[in-house]
Amino acid sequence: MFDLGLKNKVVIITGGSDGLGYASAELLASEGAKVVICGRREDYLKEKAKIISEKTKNDVLGIKADVSRAEDCKSLVEQTISKFKKVDILVNNAGASAAALFEDVTDKNWEDDINLKLMSTIRMCRLVIPHMKASSGGVIINATIGGGKAPNAGSLPTTVTRAAGINLTKSLANQYAKDNIRVNTICIGLIKSAQWDRRSGNGSVEDLYNEMSKKVPMGKVGEEIDYANLVAFLSSHRSAYITGTAINLDGGLCPVV
């Protein structure tokens, strides 16, 4: 058995009620971790937490929070500590696609994207790191994209905020290695998720995936479990010597390493 050593670890996953975050929450809970997921739709969030808990026979707590708001980040961490007394792993997964040409991006678009993708990560890290230091270590995983390394035209503001997330990852990894806090980022490529279901409109989402797969060297779009598997590995003692990395999870799509 490939034991990941996650039993009784306490994990916060932002944006954990759907898609990649939900897949990660289910896998980590199945490995024995106590998982906290957050989202903005309270009833939906509670239902998804209940489903994972019943399926995995493990503690899964759903906390309503909009991580683009500083007060919600603070409440999320406080409630986690109140319930589980510690935080071992933080997965900054919350985000939404925002891609347009430069002249079409308003100040409000920039501010919203920075708050959702960058400031939420900064705030969540700032809140959990003292608890991780008190527990002699921890793991932080930041979701970014390959476009943060090599942006395409018409990919703003996302590629800028994700590039900042990659930089933040390396900065934190360097600073907190001495405290046994490992920080890595997963640079996501084209992976199946609910956002693509919505984008397909009246068409077939499978047709959309088939078209998208033509861009990928491996010839396919990734699955949610591909992301969850990497989150689980980076969360575990099996990756104990890995920190400060930006791992492309994209089937070879990103043109840079």
In a 13 Å sphere around the CA of 194, the CA atoms on its Cβ side amount to 11
At the fourth CATH level, which superfamily is domain 10-193+224-249? Answer: NAD(P)-binding Rossmann-like Domain (3.40.50.720)
Q: What is the pLDDT along the chain (257 residues), one digit of tens a residue?
A: 678 999 999 999 999 999 999 999 999 999 999 999 999 999 999 999 999 999 999 999 999 999 999 999 999 999 999 999 999 999 999 998 899 999 999 999 999 999 999 999 999 999 999 999 999 999 999 999 999 999 999 999 999 999 999 999 999 999 999 999 999 999 999 999 877 877 777 788 999 999 999 999 999 999 999 999 999 999 999 999 999 999 999 999 999 99
Q: Can you name the residues that pair with 18 across neighbouring β-strands?
A: none
Q: Which two tokens stand for residue 16?
A: 């954990």
Q: Are 148 and 163 in contact (CB under 8 A)?
A: yes
Residue ranges per domain, the chain?
Answer: 10-193+224-249
Tokens of 3: 């034991």
